[in-house]
Structure 1
Amino acid sequence: MQSGMKVGADWRPDVLGDEFEQRTLPLPDGAEATLVRYLPSLSSDDGEAGGSSASDTAEPAARKVAVLYVHGFVDYFFHRHVARALADAGYAFYAVDLRGYGRSMAAHTAAGRDANIVKDIAVHAQDLDVAAATVRAAGHERLVVLGHSMGGLVATLWAAGRRGRADALVLNSPWFDLNESWLLRGPVTRVIDVVGRVAPRLAVGALGGYYARALHTGSGGEWDFDLTWKPYDGFPVRAGWFLSVRAAHRRVRRGVDVGVPALVLASTRSGPHRKRHDELVTTDSVLDVEQIRRGAQHIGEDVLFVPVEGGAHDLALSPRPAREEYLNTVVAWLGARVPA
């Protein structure tokens, strides 16, 4: 952990119920992130503590490998079933709500900042630094970072720039490029690059709400999440933040080396992201899966790309059997590359 960074207050109850707890992670410049842990996943059940013989008073040993989940844009951690699946496979499970997101949003907006928006997404490397250090301090010997969408982009660049802090990456539909026409990816992006420097808070777009509506129980979907933290229509995309995202995309396109084994997964097909359609949760209707496939070729030497038939943008929120295929693939790959 970097000098001057302190672990936050004690663990306290989390919104996901009795099996989860959260703690605040103070960050530089007065920012905050939030770490969540899944209590049943934390300790081994063999009675050993620190390698010594078991005794009635011995503390149970921390599981050797921990997984740290990193969410996407207009998102936060609410995936109880992912925590349980990884815990059942022998992994300790944690998740971080980055500064400005979910559990960390109130402190961010109270300081006059825009929800989900930072000046430069590179600042989230600090969030992962503190989260990873806190997880390691709990006694886990190895760390896997599981990033979804924007979280996959952040995790990729963090691993490449902070070699040795993670032991493996799992990337669920990572955001490696802009899912738009060549005009928006090229000339319009260059215009926004200029605008972002002089008017960083200018709203230049927003996510479409079709996908989120298809997921949420209130509009016929399968998943219950907080619409304050993950609203249907998202939050405004600001020019300065967008400028930094496109710079991150260019870094991936030029090539980075995460230095650890990486598993990249995505749906087999993309669907329209600007209109309602019948395959919103059985295709990636946010990103372009071919961009993800190409991007996976530029992040290191030990990378496996796996397509998931019938997968949604967030593969963990796909309907059955796609989500079971996703989780089973992750667990099997971890078992081979980073055994619990």
Structure 2
Amino acid sequence: MNDPAGWIPDVLGDGFQQRTLALGEDDEGEVVATIVRHMPDANPLTRAAWLVGERHSLADVDVLYVHGWSDYFFQRRLARFWVDRGARFYALDLRKYGRSLRPGQTPGYVSELGVYDHDIASALEAMGRGAGGTGSSRRLVLMGHSTGGLTLSLWADRHPDVASALILNSPWLEFQLSGVTRAALAPIVELRARMRPLNTAPQVDLGFYTRAQEAVADPDDPMDINVEWRPPQTMAVHAGWLNAVLAGHARVASGLAISAPVCVLLSARTAIPSRWSDELTSADTVLVVDDIARAALKLGSSVTVERIAGALHDVFLSRHDARSMAYARLDRWVAGYLEARHPSHRQPS
């Protein structure tokens, strides 16, 4: 039987559904985003708790997750973290990524990060919150990884008081070669973006980040990766897209005013992936984490930075000890900022 709202089974299997969000057309044809959901009633333990009258502390929370560059949503474990606490979990495959990529499209390409406002608005509407995100009494938690963290930071700054919290997993808030290099490089990239926006930069990813994830993967909780949606080496970097990212970095450097509390999870250190070594399985090989930690302090007035020893660029895909620590730090922050603000926990005035 067809769901009148358009929800269908997702590739992640039991308990996961997806819905296609029409976004119109561009010069490459039909443009869509895809929202994936995992709900408390899909989890047997959470459903049983509700049946016996137990209310979870995040029962009034909607989580919206946005992936990073050359990526898509596949993290069942992360969805379970939120649903186990009573929240409704949603993830968005942005236009031209993952489930949303259509034949003939340039993977991941946009020329301005603000374009994703349309994707996010459509996702919020599908979540029952209205396009602006405020058409619900439920709290909204935004969660982004890498470029998704940059995108959501800029969105939260443009849409004050919509989100109750912003959680960033190794957000790409600054260029890898420092803000000084970014400022010098930006005019050159901007000129190339105007003249030949689809020009590609040389491929510098040797596939070591993917190899590191495979080396530390949990055999008891495997993740099936679609390599067409998440290739071992990153997708081609185009001048127009890089210009959009550098513009986003410049906005962060000038200071944002995100009204919600922000939690930033980062690896404790960076390793340069010039050749393969075991060191790459316990460090961020994508970003300069010290620069990201400094940039994070410009997001708003309430920012927590959590440094995770031994973590990869995606802290939740790290080896067991680092991954467990990342979830423990997230759980501690959630308990302080979200569970303590649940209506049932508030003391009468």
Band the TM-score falls in, shorter-chain normalisation: 0.7 to 0.9
Of 274-283 and 18-27, more deviation after overlay is shown by 274-283
The secondary structure found in structure 2 opposite 1:81 is helix
The secondary structure found in structure 1 opposite 2:101 is helix
What is the deviation of 1:116?
A: 1.1
What is the deviation of 1:182?
A: 7.3
Give the match for residue 245 of structure 2: 245
Whether 1:308 aligns to 2:308 is yes
Give the match for residue 16 of structure 1: 12
Deviations 1:18-37 (A, max 9, x none): 12110011224452111101
Contact 2:74 2:223 in 1 (8 A): no
What is the deviation of 1:220?
A: 11
Give the match for residue 211 of structure 2: 213
Q: Distance in 1 between matches of 2:129 and 2:260?
A: 21
Q: Distance in 2 between matches of 1:247 and 1:65?
A: 32
- Correspondence 1:202-281 to 2 at 5 A: 202-206=199-203, 208=205, 209-216=207-214, 223-281=223-281
Contact 2:216 2:318 in 1 (8 A): no
Q: Distance in 2 between matches of 1:136 and 1:257?
A: 26
Q: Using a 3 Å threshold, how does the CA distance of structure 1 residues 190 and 152 change in structure 2: closer, same or farther?
A: same
Instruction: Pick the aligned partner of 1:92 from 83, 88, 93.
Output: 88
User: How much is the aligned-residue C-alpha RMSD, in angstroms?
Assistant: 2.7
Deviations 1:95-125 (A, max 9, x none): 111111111112xxx3x43011112222112
Q: Distance in 2 between matches of 1:8 and 1:145?
A: 27
The secondary structure found in structure 1 opposite 2:162 is coil
Q: Using a 3 Å threshold, how does the CA distance of structure 1 residues 185 and 288 change in structure 2: closer, same or farther?
A: same
What is the deviation of 1:69?
A: 1.0
Q: Distance in 2 between matches of 1:145 and 1:41?
A: 21
Whether 1:135 aligns to 2:134 is no
Q: Which amino acid aligns with 1:178?
A: F
Contact 1:41 1:91 in 2 (8 A): no
Give the match for residue 67 of structure 2: 71
Task: Report the TM-score when normalising by structure 1.
Answer: 0.86
Q: Using a 3 Å threshold, how does the CA distance of structure 1 residues 159 and 34 change in structure 2: closer, same or farther?
A: same
What is the deviation of 1:137?
A: 3.8
What is the deviation of 1:269?
A: 0.3
Contact 1:12 1:21 in 2 (8 A): yes
Gaps in structure 2 of 5+ consecutive residues? 131-135, 343-349
What is the deviation of 1:132?
A: 2.3
Give the match for residue 3 of structure 1: none
Q: Which amino acid aligns with 2:35?
A: L
Contact 1:68 1:93 in 2 (8 A): yes
What is the deviation of 1:223?
A: 4.4
Give the match for residue 177 of structure 1: 174
Q: Using a 3 Å threshold, how does the CA distance of structure 1 residues 220 and 68 change in structure 2: closer, same or farther?
A: closer
Q: Distance in 1 between matches of 2:167 and 2:97?
A: 21
Of 276-285 and 169-178, more deviation after overlay is shown by 276-285
Give the match for residue 78 of structure 2: 82
Q: Which amino acid aligns with 1:255?
A: G
Gaps in structure 1 of 5+ consecutive residues? 1-6, 49-53, 55-61
What is the deviation of 1:281?
A: 2.8
The secondary structure found in structure 2 opposite 1:89 is coil
Q: Distance in 2 between matches of 1:255 and 1:83?
A: 31
- Correspondence 1:105-184 to 2 at 5 A: 105-106=101-102, 110=103, 112-137=104-129, 141-180=138-177
Q: Using a 3 Å threshold, how does the CA distance of structure 1 residues 34 and 40 change in structure 2: closer, same or farther?
A: same
Q: Distance in 2 between matches of 1:265 and 1:293?
A: 9
What is the deviation of 1:324?
A: 1.1
What is the deviation of 1:335?
A: 2.1
Of 88-97 and 272-281, more deviation after overlay is shown by 272-281
What is the deviation of 1:163?
A: 1.6
Q: Using a 3 Å threshold, how does the CA distance of structure 1 residues 88 and 143 change in structure 2: closer, same or farther?
A: same
Q: Using a 3 Å threshold, how does the CA distance of structure 1 residues 141 and 181 change in structure 2: closer, same or farther?
A: closer
Q: Distance in 1 between matches of 2:175 and 2:41?
A: 36
Q: Which amino acid aligns with 1:230?
A: R
Q: Distance in 2 between matches of 1:178 and 1:68?
A: 25
Q: Distance in 2 between matches of 1:165 and 1:204?
A: 37
Q: Using a 3 Å threshold, how does the CA distance of structure 1 residues 162 and 207 change in structure 2: closer, same or farther?
A: farther
What is the deviation of 1:136?
A: 3.9
What is the deviation of 1:218?
A: 12
Deviations 1:43-87 (A, max 9, x none): 874359xxxxx9xxxxxxx93102111100011111111111221
Q: Distance in 1 between matches of 2:216 and 2:266?
A: 26
Contact 1:147 1:171 in 2 (8 A): yes
Give the match for residue 133 of structure 2: none
Q: Distance in 2 between matches of 1:65 and 1:218?
A: 31
Of 148-157 and 123-132, more deviation after overlay is shown by 123-132
Q: Using a 3 Å threshold, how does the CA distance of structure 1 residues 41 and 186 change in structure 2: closer, same or farther?
A: farther
Q: Distance in 2 between matches of 1:247 and 1:159?
A: 16
Of 175-184 and 211-220, more deviation after overlay is shown by 211-220
Q: Distance in 1 between matches of 2:62 and 2:39?
A: 12
